[in-house]
Amino acid sequence: MAKSTAKGALQVRIIHRYLGFFLAGIMAIYALSGIVLIFRSTDFLKVEEKVSQQLATNLNAEALGQQLRIRGLRVERTVGEMLYFKDGSYNQATGEAEYVKKELPLVLDKLTHLHKATTNDPLFFLNIFFGLSLLFFVISAFWMYLPGGPILRKGLWFTLGGVVLVLIMLFV
């Protein structure tokens, strides 16, 4: 029995090791995209692009926002036929809209899209694989050390500390 247990633990260690090497690149990419996502409500790293677009005439603010795909578009002021909103304007008589669009560069935009993939996106399979792999890492890490040994006991305290820190940050 002890031989099969030791052999199983060795197999878990080997899988843990090589899966770790494989996932190192994925983890680095997820880390970078996660950091970029923290700043999504700011203009950090975003590139400005001037856009001129022909729309239907006499749109109200809500319809204008839908046409331009700008959530929460608010008209700041109206001067005659001109509606002015943050970073742009719309001429109700001619239907011409001019505004500045701020987006992340292509590579960073793709990285953040990876982080936000839903079931409607083929990337969600990678997210599920990555999540399950991290869960395997969590569980297999406890097979790296002798049961009841001081390193494992101390590691369990650190694990509890990590759980408590996240709970504090979520609920306080």
What average pLDDT does the structure give for the chain? 91
What is the span of the domain harbouring residue 160? Answer: 145-172
| Distance, first Cα to last Cα, the chain | 48
Residues 59 and 35 placed together within one structural domain of the fold: no
Q: How many domains does the chain have?
A: 3
Residue 83, class by beta-carbon neighbours within 10 Å (0-12 exposed, 13-18 middle, 19+ buried)?
buried
Residue 144 to residue 98: CA distance in whole angstroms:
60
Does 58 lie in the same domain as 89?
yes
Q: Note whether 91 and 114 are same-domain residues.
A: no
Quote the strand ranges of 80-125, DSSP E. 82-85, 88-91, 96-103
Same domain? 131 vs 112:
yes
Question: What are the pLDDT digits (tens) for 91-136?
Answer: 999 999 999 999 999 999 998 888 888 999 998 999 899 999 989 9
Residue 1 pLDDT class (50, 70, 90 cuts): low
Residues 39-55 have pLDDT tens digits of: 999 999 999 999 999 99
Residue 98's DSSP bridge partners are 52, 89
Buried-state track 15-27, b at ≥16 Cβ within 10 A, e below 16? ebeeeeeebeeee
Residues 54 and 99 in one domain: yes
